[in-house]
């Protein structure tokens, strides 16, 4: 059973950004040495009202950053997420991907 939902490379060639329902985690890999970080902005639709960001800020092409969360399980619960690049933690967002939905409970 596939548990990952990933931003397609053809829409976001700057890195890899996936949500893995097996462990409730985002997996990010920055693929371009441009001084910007890869960021995933997410919102949980699980009744908790939670949202946040996961940052790969330690440079390009050096392995994945994993951000673990504990979302509420439920067959209709999901996270909506987008990948983007950013100059610093609070800089301007650029190269914003289309939004994706990843189900929290593996299907």
Write out the residue range of the structural domain in which residue 34 sits: 4-103
User: pLDDT at position 14, please?
Assistant: 85
In this prediction the pTM is 0.90
What CATH number does the domain containing 75 carry?
2.60.40.10
| pLDDT band at residue 90 under the 50/70/90 scheme | very high
pLDDT tens, 16-46? 999 999 999 999 999 999 999 999 999 999 9
Is the pLDDT reported for residue 107 higher than 70? no
Can you give the three-state secondary structure of 34-86, one letter per residue?
CCCEEEEEEEEECCCCCEEEEEECCCCCCCCEEEECCCCCCCCCEEEEEEEEE
Structural domains counted in the chain: 1
């Amino acid at each position: 059973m596939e548990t990952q939902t990933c931003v397609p490379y053809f829409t976001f060639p700057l890195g890899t950004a996936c949500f893995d329902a097996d462990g409730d985690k985002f997996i990010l890999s920055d693929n371009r040495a441009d001084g910007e970080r890869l960021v995933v902005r997410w919102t949980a639709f699980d009744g908790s009202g939670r949202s946040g960001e996961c940052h790969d800020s330690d440079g390009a092409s050096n392995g994945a950053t994993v951000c673990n969360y504990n979302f509420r399980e439920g067959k209709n619960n999901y996270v909506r997420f987008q990948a983007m690049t950013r100059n610093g933690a609070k800089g301007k967002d650029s190269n914003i991907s289309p939004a994706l939905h990843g189900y929290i409970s593996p299907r």
